[in-house]
Structures are given as C-alpha cells and as structure tokens.
A = this chain, B = another copy of it.
C-alpha cells in the first residue's frame, strides 16, 4: 500500500461529464497555440442570435470528444495498449484544430481559396506546424495522428480506430449533440451516449453497435436531425450566416487567412481577429453594423421538402439556377436583385462519411446469438425510423430586407408556388 503515482497529470472540469482527467502528454498538447486557439472559435456561429447562451467553443468540444474517445477505448471488448488508447484520445482532441473562424460557416471560403476543407486543414496542421514538434516531443507520430484525427486508419484490422473519431456515431457527433443541447437549451433530446458506448463492439474490424442499443441509435440520429432544424438550419441562424458569408465575400481581398502559405499563418486567425477585420473593412462594415444591432435578413418565403433522389435539390443548389430565380423574384417584387437571397441548406440525414469503406449508407449493427456469436444486421431493415431518416431534408428559403418582406413573399409565392409560413416561436 505504498503511495502510487497517478498516470494522470490532473483534471479539468466540464459541465457535462464532470471531471475529465488529463495525462501529461495531453496537457502538453492542449497547451499549444493550435488547440488553445479553439477557445476563440465558437461551435455554432450564428446560433447565438437565436439561443443567447450558445457561446460554447470548439475548445470544450474537443476536450469532450477526447473524453468520450477514452471511454469508448476503455470499454471496447478488445485489448488495447495504453499507447493505443492515448492515440485515440489524441486524435479526438485534435480532430477539429483545422476549423476556420466561425467553424462550418467559413467552409466554402476554405474550399474556394485554400482548396481544402476543415478536415484537410486539421491533417495539415497536425503534420506540419508548431504543433507537430510538440506531438513529436511527446513521443507520438504526427503523420499517424494527422490521419487518425480525420478518421483514416492504415491497417484494416484497426479500422475502428478511425471510426471512433469519424463515422455516423463517432465521439464528435455524440459530444456535439449533447453539448449543443446543453448550451442552447434547445432540448431536442438528451441522448444516452454511454448506453451506445457500452454496447459497442468490433465487427470485421469495424466499429459496430449491439442491436440492443438500437433505440439509442435512433435517438441519436433523430436528435441530430432535430438539431439541424432547431439550430443549424433555423431561419434566423441562417440569416446571420448568410450575412457573415456576404461580409466575408466583400472583404475577401483583404483577408490574409485566404492567402496563407503554411498552417502557422492559418492559426493566427480566429473569430476575434476576423470579426475585428470585418468591422473595420469598408465593404463589410455595414453588414457587421446590422448584425451588431440584430437587424437580420428576413425570411419572406419558406418551403421544406424531403427527396430521396438528388434531382430536386440539385436544381436549387446549382448557383445559376438560384441566381435566375433570385432575379425573377426581384423583378416581380420590384426590388433590387441583390436584395434577394435564395438559401437552400440541406442535410443528408444519416451522413455516414466512411460509406465507401463500410458499405452503402449503413451503420454496422449486430445481434448476439445465445452462444455469443455476432450476427451482422441491416439497420435499415431493423429500424423503420432510421430508414425513413435516410433522406435529404431540403429547405428552400427566400430572404430579403425587413421592409421588402411582403412584396418579396408575394413574388416568391408566384415564382415558387404556395407555401405556408408560420411565425417562429423562438427569438
């Protein structure tokens, strides 16, 4: 009964999971510019205009994802070494370092100017920045973590390593569903993520879920859908996002982040610096002023539809088509064309990103026979709820300035067909 040394360096308190233990390796990687910067990148840019308390950042989210990844690794019925578990936790910790200011909102700019999405940026930063040296100094391989953090895993028998970080029931999604609900108060469902985790197993090298947790899986999928409707695709959130996007577009020639040469330059930029840039920029300043007084674009027309084929959604997501429709509505409404914005956010309801490696749009699920054998099952055959959520939800909206709302609403109805528009409940 001698005193023993804890393998942990200390604790950090999270309002959701309580005390999260940190190893010294983790502490040293957390205390880098790459990870600390996430403190100034909000998780849900725009959502705070609807849910005032939704000011949580990517920083606490990655700590939460790391924690959940550790719980998964500890509970999977396979022998993992301490080092393997540490790698999985680190990959979860680092999976979001590549996010741009305002998170997903900036994604189109990333693609357009840097030809990378945020996952590519995460990989790049892990493999080739000031963070890289710290990772190496802690005894871990930056290249390996750079892949693992975006769900890539070299050896087939350990595909589940990557799937813990990136799949349709990964620690990223589990954490944000719970965390976004906690901070918004949106209350679309407190998913029992630990039930899901405790029933996870490996099936042919893939992360899989026991059929007994199917209800929880359905809850997770529905909660994600609800969170899109209640938060990410909320009319006012989208209005803010469109305004910010236009401001970014106006200022694009003066935004150094769009012309970086290496990851360390990218890491200079966060919500604070971009917001400060935009508010001083002659072209974008006015939009920021409007945001600063919550003078938002207003939704004059809205229609929601679900399609299984991509045809309808393609029509609206094609820029040319959208522009033509905007102009037609503007003509009929007798307002300037640049006062009309058609918005078509859409979501694949069960977006299993690693579909190619796993199989077409399906989550590995199994049942156990009385002898303990794991029998693969088709989730869409077992769950009508999952099956029906396998669709794309499309929302088509026409936004304009508050004082044009009426005439644009009429014009949009004429062009796009009758659609009822109820008052929003939330602010």
Residues of chain A at the chain B interface (Cβ within 8 Å) = 1-4, 6, 10-16, 18-19, 22, 27, 30-33, 36-37, 39-40, 48, 50-53, 55-57, 59-60, 63, 77-80, 157, 182-192, 194-195, 198-199, 210-213, 215-216, 218-219, 222-223, 226, 229-230, 271-273, 275-276, 279, 292-295, 306, 367-370, 375, 377, 384-385, 387-389, 391, 406, 409, 420-427
Contact = CB atoms under 8 A, between A and B. Distances in A.
Contact of A368 (B216, B293, B385, B421): B421
Contacts of A1: 78-80, 157
A190 B187 contact: yes
A325 B33 CA distance: 34
Contacts of A39: 48, 52, 55
Q: Which one of A32, A199, A370 has the greatest number of beta carbons of chain B within 10 Å? A: A370
B384 A423 contact: no
A276 B1 CA distance: 50
A288 B160 CA distance: 40
Copies of this chain: 4
Given A16-B185, A56-B53, A188-B215, A422 B79 contact: no
Contacts of A211: 420, 422
Contacts of A15: 51, 53, 182-185
12 contacts: A10-B425, A15-B183, A15-B185, A213-B425, A215-B229, A272-B275, A273-B276, A273-B279, A306-B384, A369-B421, A384-B388, A384-B389
A212 B11 contact: no
Given A2-B79, A53-B14, A22 B388 contact: no
A37 to B, nearest CB: 7
A103 to B, nearest CB: 14
Contacts of A294: 30-31, 36
Q: Interface majority SS on A: helix, strand, loop or mixed? A: mixed
Nearest to A289: B33
A78 B2 contact: yes
Nearest to A37: B292
Given A4-B79, A27-B427, A188-B219, 18 more contacts: A1-B79, A2-B78, A13-B427, A14-B185, A18-B185, A19-B195, A30-B294, A31-B293, A39-B48, A39-B55, A52-B60, A186-B192, A187-B192, A189-B223, A215-B230, A222-B385, A369-B420, A369-B421
A167 B267 CA distance: 45
A84 B400 CA distance: 37
A188 B183 contact: no
Contacts of A409: 370
A367 B420 contact: yes
A263 B40 CA distance: 27
A163 to B, nearest CB: 15
Contacts of A276: 272-273, 276
A296 to B, nearest CB: 9
B292 A33 contact: yes
B215 A226 contact: yes
Contacts of A230: 215
A379 B283 CA distance: 46
Given A367-B421, A385-B222, A409-B370, A51 B13 contact: yes
A189 B79 CA distance: 33
A30 B292 CA distance: 11
